[in-house]
Homo-oligomer: A and B are copies of this chain.
């Protein structure tokens, strides 16, 4: 039994639930008795489920007020409700979903919340001031990395107002079928990554020359007038580069011009409505859905009330709760857009002969998540209670305020990369098992679902939401803390642990079509 929580403690989320989650660190032994009088008939690990009543074979196992599966055999009150005891229900049928049937009423607006940001010409606002160098093709990656190392060492120190230099390198651009169904996804992802608000709206481009993805397709000048004024492009195969040294010099020269422009920028006071906050979870456990994710959901509601854009994602993690989301859509068109994205992903998985049940990891299961339904219910808690106002396909640039759904895989870095392409300028990431996630382009605030993790990883986790399970803080208190930290970090007043260490994972493109 835990030292810090002397009393056996469980969390029941919804009054109709017939299972609850063990809070005590290290779990509880057989015989442990709760205040309610419930006695454990066997040992139950931390974050795993205990049956609150006898559940007959075939009867629903209920958590979050919804059926997460049915009992494979009779489950006695006080026993451990583990993965094997629960049947895997079918995903909701996409043909019979409620469309905008329970649209939540608008919450009162929140006025007066601001942050200090960098206003771009296109109206977007940066939370960092970064020089971005994008690339059309994987072949130039090592050359650009070489140049970026020199830019950071030789040029960046002279431009102290610029936060970082980032090369947008990737495995796309050639050796791919550029006309394949789905090819627009990686292409628009790279385009919109290059236009992320934190890069100031005008990226530099390095091309090889002979690649399939040509600069004009990556960033069409017609749609991006700023590029016609500042056509910063180096093409390595161009005749004027008569050595590798020439190529590197050309990239550095172009970089220095841009560094001078970026260095002259100043933060100004911006309304909280200029924030585009991406939400994600990774390494989830059964606490994620009762502590970290609901607290983030509360922060999401505050952000929406303040006029900001809040983005949630991860198709395979919401697929099993899609009926709740289509009902919450602001109107039937938005609901149908949600269904379209689910259907696209069902088809994508089907072509590869897998389905959404591939989602939960061994760690999720050890963490008490029996299946994708339970994981989904926890996952959508991040999205708070606002109506869903718009849906975007993978890699599309988000232009809508309010709570939006940006369709992405759940794979952490692919999701993060797509949210960056969607114009995210702040990121909140919840974890139960623990993952040292980080992105270079925007600050990532990491929220732990358990106090034990937050304490053990005190130099990686920014906010401890485990205090909700132990009763030391409420969901609202932790949610407000997350909201406040978003504004502080967005203003550059506070640094996340990921930024402190420079823990910055590479971009991971979502390319649903074959390589050639």
Contacts and interface: CB of A to CB of B under 8 A. Distances in A.
A12 interface: no
Interface in A348-383: 348-349, 351-354, 356, 358-359, 361-364, 366-367
A241 B460 CA distance: 12
A139 B436 contact: yes
Nearest to A183: B354
Interface string A494-516: 00010001111110101011111
A360 B424 CA distance: 36
A143 to B, nearest CB: 5
A164 interface: no
A101 interface: no
Contact of A352 (B364, B456, B514): B514
Contact of A362 (B214, B353, B409): B214
Interface stretch (A67-75, A223-231, A410-418): A410-418
A387 interface: no
B177 A352 contact: yes
Given A244-B501, A414-B175, A514-B351, A210 B142 contact: no
Contact of A412 (B169, B174, B179, B367): B174
A139 B353 contact: no
B358 A177 contact: yes
Contacts of A98: none
Nearest to A349: B514
A466 to B, nearest CB: 16
A190 interface: no
A181 to B, nearest CB: 5
A242 interface: yes
B506 A236 contact: no
A234 to B, nearest CB: 12
Chain A, interface residues (CB within 8 Å), range: 35 or more
Interface string A136-148: 0011111100100
A177 B169 CA distance: 25
Interface string A403-438: 000000111111000000000000000000111111
Given A513-B354, A516-B354, A516-B410, A141 B506 contact: yes
A434 B433 CA distance: 46
Interface string A168-188: 010100111111111000000
Given A139-B436, A175-B410, A363-B210, A354 B180 contact: yes
Contacts of A212: 361-362
A208 B352 contact: no
B210 A146 contact: no
B362 A283 contact: no
A113 interface: no
A269 interface: no
Closest 10 CB pairs of A and B: A210-B363, A175-B411, A177-B358, A352-B514, A177-B354, A210-B433, A142-B503, A180-B354, A409-B515, A171-B508
Interface of A: 138-143, 146, 169, 171, 174-182, 208-212, 214, 236-237, 239, 241-245, 247, 282-283, 316, 348-349, 351-354, 356, 358-359, 361-364, 366-367, 409-414, 433-438, 456-460, 497, 501-506, 508, 510, 512-516
9 contacts: A138-B413, A139-B283, A180-B354, A210-B361, A244-B457, A244-B503, A351-B351, A352-B512, A359-B516
Given A174-B412, A180-B352, 17 more contacts: A139-B282, A139-B436, A139-B437, A142-B438, A142-B504, A175-B411, A175-B414, A177-B349, A178-B358, A181-B352, A181-B353, A208-B435, A243-B457, A244-B503, A316-B516, A349-B514, A351-B351
